Structure 1
């Protein structure tokens, strides 16, 4: 068993990237610039913005199932020059490897069935083990310290 990490799709954010600062503020978002290395993880490209690089900070709904008590939204960064990541099966992007992660496993009804906090370098083993359980549909990966959504993990599609 193995996993595939899925970024958020660039198409969901292209209209945000075209907005000026005033229009972003009207929608509760902000244009920001990364201040330090590894401080602004882009959820589309799955890489950290370089210091000085422009980003949009906005709220994103990552669990949207109306019937789940685990519905959730939170702040995310999208780099202004983001290119959608396509990690290979079984590959944990560096952005995830260097962080303390909160891993949250969900079943088909978006009920949380398991959760753990792990150092990023150890996340691959946990993902593999949990996705071996046929009841688990997806795993959301969050930054443990701030709680922000980073990416999702699921079983790779069958060839």
Structure 2
């Protein structure tokens, strides 16, 4: 099964890039400086920022649909980062070491399956297994400890629909 990862479009965050802490606070956003590697995964680049980089913490509607599963949560984005693009079958490096909660959603945006995996190989097998289920239209990946949205994964054939292309 061919699949593709989708990062969030950076264009929706451009108005917040480079703002002062006070200006960000007016929008309910805070800024942090990364202190340790493997923290603060960026949902725009799907990379892990390096210590010393500035990240923005904001509330984001990652499942902004008419469904009982409609959802929003806190996410981090790297200040000034552009959208990451990934080849078919490519798993972004930030998922190599992290435990990930994988949710399979239907066309009606209802959760049809959920699994917990760790590492690229387990994640790849889980993605392929879930996307082979015809009841599952796409996947959402979340942090298992905080519940934060990480990324969307689709079948490669529908990748252009999810990215707006």
Report deviation, 1:18: 4.1
Name the TM-score, length of structure 2 as normaliser: 0.90
Report deviation, 1:81: 3.3
- Equivalent residue for 1:146? 146
- Equivalent residue for 1:19? 19
Question: Please, what is the CA RMSD of the aligned residues?
Answer: 1.5
- Equivalent residue for 1:51? 51
Spell out the pairing of 1:59-98 with structure 2 (5 A cutoff).
Answer: 59-66=59-66, 68-98=67-97
CA distance in structure 1 between the partners assigned to 2:3 and 2:97 by the alignment: 18
Name the TM-score, length of structure 1 as normaliser: 0.94
Structure 1: runs of 5+ lacking an equivalent: none
Secondary structure class of the residue paired with 1:13: helix
CA distance in structure 1 between the partners assigned to 2:82 and 2:112 by the alignment: 32
What is the aligned length?
A: 158
Report deviation, 1:142: 0.7
Report deviation, 1:135: 2.1
- Equivalent residue for 1:119? 118
- Equivalent residue for 1:100? 99
CA distance in structure 1 between the partners assigned to 2:119 and 2:62 by the alignment: 20
Structure 2: runs of 5+ lacking an equivalent: 161-165
Report deviation, 1:31: 1.2
Report deviation, 1:83: 2.4
Secondary structure class of the residue paired with 2:157: coil
Secondary structure class of the residue paired with 1:157: helix
Deviations 1:18-77 (A, max 9, x none): 4322121122110111010011110011111110101111010011112x1111111111
Which runs of 4 or more aligned residues in structure 1 lie more than 6 Å from their structure 2 counterparts after TM superposition? none
